[in-house]
Amino acid sequence: MVHDVVIVGGGIAGLSLARELTARGRAPVVLERANGVGGRCATRRVDGQPVDHGLSFLHGRSPAFLAAMAAARDQGAVSRWPRHRDGEGVPCQPQAFDPLDTRLAPAAGVNALAKHLAAGLDVRLGARVETLALGPASHLASDRVWTLTLTGGDQLRARTVALALPVPSMLTLLGTLSPPEAAIAPLLPLLRLIHVVPCLTVIARYPEGTPAPSWEASYPAQSTAVHAVLHDSSKRPGTPRLTLVIQGRPGFSQRHVDTPEAEWAQALLDEAATLHGDWVRTPDLRQPHRWRYARVAIGTELASPLVAHCEGGAVLGLAGDGLHATGGVEGAYLSGVALAARLTGSEPPRA
Ligand SMILES: Cc1cc2nc3c(=O)[nH]c(=O)nc-3n(C[C@H](O)[C@H](O)[C@H](O)COP(=O)(O)OP(=O)(O)OC[C@H]3O[C@@H](n4cnc5c(N)ncnc54)[C@H](O)[C@@H]3O)c2cc1C
């Protein structure tokens, strides 16, 4: 069977692309390597309590993204979170605090957005694509189709493939094409302009009775290790356990990304304790997470998604947070919407 469109990556870009294609009468299949959708729009449950350990709140201003955010809003969602900020540091997407942006923290976690987008789509979880190849559709045909090989050896064939991945993962997958494809070669230098930085994070949960800080997010200007400390439990209704998420700065994260996690996790806790008090140093539970490809350095995004029309009629589309001028989670969403318009030859949507 040859699929119409296969999308690699079930993050916000891949899901918005799949929804828009479905709305235009196409039949996309989404392949996601993880056991759940959302990618960096990630929520983990710690003893049943949601914790956002990637993106920490939804924010945006385009009507399309605001509509998606509104649909993901649940009972107990906190508008304009974080409302109480500490420190003079710069958040990773400073526009989030511009009065034009709307901010929202769903009570179930930011991943509620991904779950909402995925509803009704053909999403295949635990499906990691290892290689891409282009070959004839049949022995007689001159047209060509894509073959995607998954971990474990299963294969899917498709006329159009869209990669909705962090740019380094995109480049790795495109590097498996042998021989290289003439129509794709000019895109590679453009992709290499997009600079993706890592972020080491620690979820830290504290014993019952620990007094909660008054701030909801802290962006210290003076720390070289800690970029932000998010008071995650301030987003949760009821009586949640005090939980912080500590995010490392890009430079710190780059230096430690391949070192043992116990070392950098303690370094982040120590630094956060210096900033906010000794109690921060000793959580009763800690969970480090290494985001090797966390976010795109502001200003290195391309303006829009890319499309290559290969010989024999096969089409490649590229979307993701590096392929829309808006950047971040809203840029990821809008890149999927824009790529759907390109692939179906319809009008580009109004941003
Ligand atoms: C710590 C942190 C803080 C952030 N803070 C903010 C913020 O404040 N504001 C903001 O706007 N943005 C922020 N971001 C960035 C934001 O989360 C991303 O821009 C956005 O979620 C990217 O979506 P995406 O769909 O482009 O990529 P991703 O979410 O990375 O989705 C790609 C998907 O592809 C899957 N995948 C990868 N390789 C394969 C493969 N070979 N086969 C199949 N599937 C594969 C992955 O599992 C993933 O689900 C933050 C990110 C992190 C990590």
- Mean pLDDT along residues 99-111: 97
- Mean pLDDT for the chain? 96
- Residue 16 CB–ligand 1 contact under 6 Å: no
What pLDDT score was predicted for residue 92?
A: 86
- Mean pLDDT along residues 154-166: 98
pLDDT digits (tens, 9 = 90+) for 282-305: 999 999 999 999 999 999 999 999
* Nearest CA residue ID for atom 10, ligand 1: 328
Confidence band for 139, pLDDT divided at 50, 70 and 90? confident
- pLDDT of 350 > 70? The answer is no
- Mean pLDDT along residues 331-346: 96
The atom number, within ligand 1, closest to the CA of 34 reads: 47
3-state secondary structure of 207: coil
Mutating to test ligand 1, I would choose from 12, 17, 33, 40 the residue with most ligand atoms within 8 A of its C-beta, which is 40
The atom number, within ligand 1, closest to the CA of 322 reads: 26
Above pLDDT 70, what percent of the chain?
A: 99
* Nearest CA residue ID for atom 31, ligand 1: 11
* Nearest CA residue ID for atom 3, ligand 1: 55
- pLDDT of 195 > 70? The answer is yes
Show the CA angle centred on residue 184, arms to residues 182 and 190, nearest 5°: 130
- How distant, in Å, are the alpha carbons of 69, 70, 84 from that of 101? 12, 13, 16
Using the mean position of ligand 1's atoms as its centre, give its distance from the Cα of residue 271 in Å: 26
- pLDDT of 349 > 60? The answer is no
The atom number, within ligand 1, closest to the CA of 130 reads: 41
The atom number, within ligand 1, closest to the CA of 247 reads: 1
> Domains of the chain by range and CATH?
2-37+117-194+299-344 (3.50.50.60), 47-57+84-102+196-296 (3.90.660.10)
- Residue 283 CB–ligand 1 contact under 6 Å: no
Output the DSSP codes for 293-346.
EEEEPTT---SS-EEEE-TTS-EEEEESTTSSTT-HHHHHHHHHHHHHHHHHT-
- How distant, in Å, are the alpha carbons of 42, 127, 271, 310 from that of 267? 23, 35, 6, 49
- Mean pLDDT along residues 48-68: 98
**Contact criterion met (CB below 8 Å) for 227 and 246:** no
- Residue 321 CB–ligand 1 contact under 6 Å: yes
